[in-house]
Amino acid sequence: MIKKQNKTILIAIDIGNTSMSVGIFLGRRFVKKTRIPTVSKEQKIYTRLSRLLKPYICCDIKVIISSVVPCVTKNVKHIFTDKFKLRPIIVGKHVKAPIKNLYKTPAQVGQDRLVNAFACKQIYGSPAIIIDFGTATTFDYVNKRGEYEGGIITPGVEITINSLAENTALLPKIKLKKPQNLIGKDTSDSIRSGVLNGLACMCDGLIEKIKKDRKSSPIVVATGGLARVFCHYSKHINKVDQDLTLKGLYLIFSKKSTLPLDI
């Protein structure tokens, strides 16, 4: 029989439409992160998680999950309960993000957006705009009272690239990288410039509109896989935190437990 150590390991999982981010918090430290494609079969997810958890199998392991893909949530939960004999905490079901939600229909807000809003309020303060560069690009606003007011949803980078390729006869599907020029000299570079510069201008324009509409000067925090790319094209992004959702899950778990906070 393996003797458990006293160290608490928190496995934080954010299941998005394209990929799931898995972070490991060892006591006070964020020690490891990986991404698993959301479309992966259950056995592949189990294999990846097994490798990730192997060094910590003797520790006291806790699991918290936020998700916008219910069928994958079910599979991941089954893996932890059946294979690892662990009972994960599901945000939205077992625990709520501790932030006042002013959405007209609160249940319509994705759990990841509420987790981000809570994390941003705790780490960076408010008022704040959180931009998440994921499958969709979302803008969420936290007012000066620390309340989640709502947001804006636009097509994300991958949706834009795929849509151009799938709905036109001659435009190729491109790999996203820095365009050589603002005015593209070939089709691929023209698309790259349009996607990066176009979405960055949209971001800056929406940030300016939100500031004017709310009559505030919020901090602007970017997260998601492409946040570091877009921060070089946007003039209004103040902070980049690609692990904001995972940190938010840590913070939520910390509020309902005695796990120390140091992120």
Q: 57-61, 152-156, 180-184: lowest mean pLDDT where?
A: 57-61
Residue 35: the pLDDT is: 93
Is the predicted pLDDT of residue 160 greater than 70, yes or no?
yes
Whole-number pLDDT of residue 27: 78
Q: What is the pLDDT of residue 77?
A: 95
Count of the separate structural domains present in the chain: 2
Of 64, 90, 116, the position where a domain reaches its end is 90
Determine the average pLDDT of the residues in 143-154: 96
With contact defined as beta carbons under 8 Å apart, do 79 and 35 qualify? no
Question: Do 147 and 229 fall into the same domain?
Answer: yes
Question: Which runs of E-coded beta strand occur in the chain?
Answer: 8-15, 19-26, 29-37, 60-67, 89-90, 128-133, 136-142, 148-155, 219-223, 239-240
Q: What is the pLDDT of residues 40-78, one digit of tens each?
A: 999 999 999 999 988 888 888 999 999 999 999 999 999
Please check whether residues 84 and 206 belong to one and the same domain: no
pLDDT above 70 for 241: yes
Q: List the catalytic residue out of 14, 60, 112, 204.
A: 112
127 belongs to a structural domain: yes
> Which CATH number goes with the domain that contains 178?
3.30.420.40
Q: Has 14 been annotated as catalytic? A: no
Average pLDDT, the chain: 90
In this structure, the answer to whether residues 115 and 220 fall within a common structural domain is yes
Q: Residue type for 220, please?
A: V
Closest CA to 142 of 154, 155, 131: 131
Residue 101 resides in a domain? no
Asked whether residue 77 falls in the same domain as residue 116, the answer is no
- Whether residues 15 and 74 share a domain: the answer is yes
Judge whether residue 251 has pLDDT over 50.
yes
| Reported confidence tier of residue 171, pLDDT bands at 50, 70, 90 | confident
Residue 115 and residue 239 in one domain: yes
Are 86 and 143 members of one domain?
A: no
Any residues with CB less than 8 A from the CB of 149 and at least 6 apart, and which?
102, 141, 142, 143, 214
Range of the domain at 147: 106-243
Clarify whether residues 43 and 110 are in a common domain: no
Inside any domain, residue 99? no
